[in-house]
Structure formats: structure tokens, C-alpha cells
Amino acid sequence: MRPADRYEFFRRLRAANPHPTTELVYSTPFELLISVVLSAQATDVGVNKATARLYPVANTPETILALGEDGLIEYINTIGLFRSKARHIMGLCQMLIEQHNGQVPHDRAALEALPGVGRKTANVILNTIFGEPTMAVDTHIFRLGNRTGLAKGKNVLEVEQKLLKNIPKEFLVDAHHWLILHGRYVCVARKPKCEACIVEDLCAFKGKILPTYLTE
């Protein structure tokens, strides 16, 4: 994709959604961190349903530790991999208290040192909470980067690095959210909604699904 097309791609996404954000429901940095950990191999809708019950009862490292692992599981057992996630969250809370005064650190290395937190989760926190121009490449962004020609890569790190290089700087802070939402609702995996896509004419995808009158 040419630089001018990349600029127009994000200009249109910004015009359609000037203030994009995560669909995870949270009110504090800690709540977002827990929600992102829970969201691995789970839907945001499913996570939000669980945290709507959990956060009124426990939404700090101290109160989650007070629940205990079994107590936490009672709130999150509708989410995939809930046992391992509960174990990670208990360790995460303990480390936040011992090393960061119970606060979510503004540091990639410190975030990635937390149990259950990898590069993608750290990128979400650095971007959404701290406003850093990071790119958390999930399955939607990986697919979209390769399909559109924005950033072709064989693995998530390669796609992440190419997106950070290719996206014009003025769009970088919000680009992660625009791409996730576009991949989740328009550029879906099996039958992309090309006829409803506002950047279809800029996209390099050769298997576009368009009404006949748009292809004649």
C-alpha cells in the first residue's frame, strides 16, 4: 500500500470514529489490566459480563487477594482458561503490591514481568492507559494487516513492527483501536463485509466480496 493510501486509510477511519477506545468496560488502570488478562482467548462481551459482577466486590490488588483464588474463580468461571487466569491474577496482584505499591506500572519491562502479561497485554495498557503509540496485534489486526497490505508479516511481532513503521504518526495512538474494531465488525475472517467497508478501494485484498454492481 502506498504512503498516500495509508494516510487516506486512517483519515477515513478517524473521520468515522474520532475517539476510538477499547470495548472492555473499566474505570481504573488496574481494572483494565485484569480485563485484558481475562480477555485472552475470550470475547470482550464475555469478560465484561464477568467483571460486572467482580469489580463491585473486588477491583484492587488487595481486595482480589482477599477473595482468594477459589473466590476469584467463582466470578470468572464463565471465561475460557479461568483456572490458569485466576492463578496468574493472584500472582499479578501480589507482585503489584510488593513491587509497585499496588499501582499499574508505566513501564514495558515491569508490565511484562507480571504473571499472565505478555507483549500484547503490555501494549494495550501502554496505549489505552498511558497514551503511548503502541500496537497490540491480536488475531483481528494480524489478519487485517496482511489482508489489506498495510503490514504483511508471518508473525505478530513482524506485523506489529511494520504497522508502527507504516502508519502515519498522527494516527498512531488511536490506530490500534481503529484496526481492532474494523477487523471485528467489518473485515471479519470468513466473509469480510467489503460492501460496507469505507476503505475498500484502498485495500489490496484480492478476494473481496462485493455486490455485482460494484464489480462491473
**Domains contained in the chain, number:** 2
Catalytic residue among 85, 120, 162, 174: 120
Residues 12, 53, single domain; the answer is no
Catalytic residue among 138, 165, 174, 208: 138
CATH number at residue 152: 1.10.1670.10
CATH number at residue 49: 1.10.340.30
Helix pair angle (156-166, 139-148), 10° resolution: 60
**Is residue 120 among the annotated active site residues?**
yes
**Is residue 138 among the annotated active site residues?**
yes
Tens-place pLDDT, residues 26-40: 999 999 999 999 999
Tens-place pLDDT, residues 56-66: 999 999 999 99
Looking at the predicted structure, is the pLDDT value of residue 180 above 70? yes
Do 56 and 28 touch, CB atoms closer than 8 A? no
Residues 57, 78, single domain; the answer is yes
**Which three cell numbers mark 213?**
454492481
Domain that holds residue 39: 29-128
Closest of 144, 139, 140, 131 to residue 172, by C-alpha = 131
Residues 57, 144, single domain; the answer is no
Tens-place pLDDT, residues 77-110: 999 999 999 999 999 999 999 999 999 999 999 9
Q: If pLDDT is split at 50, 70 and 90, which confidence band does 208 have?
A: confident
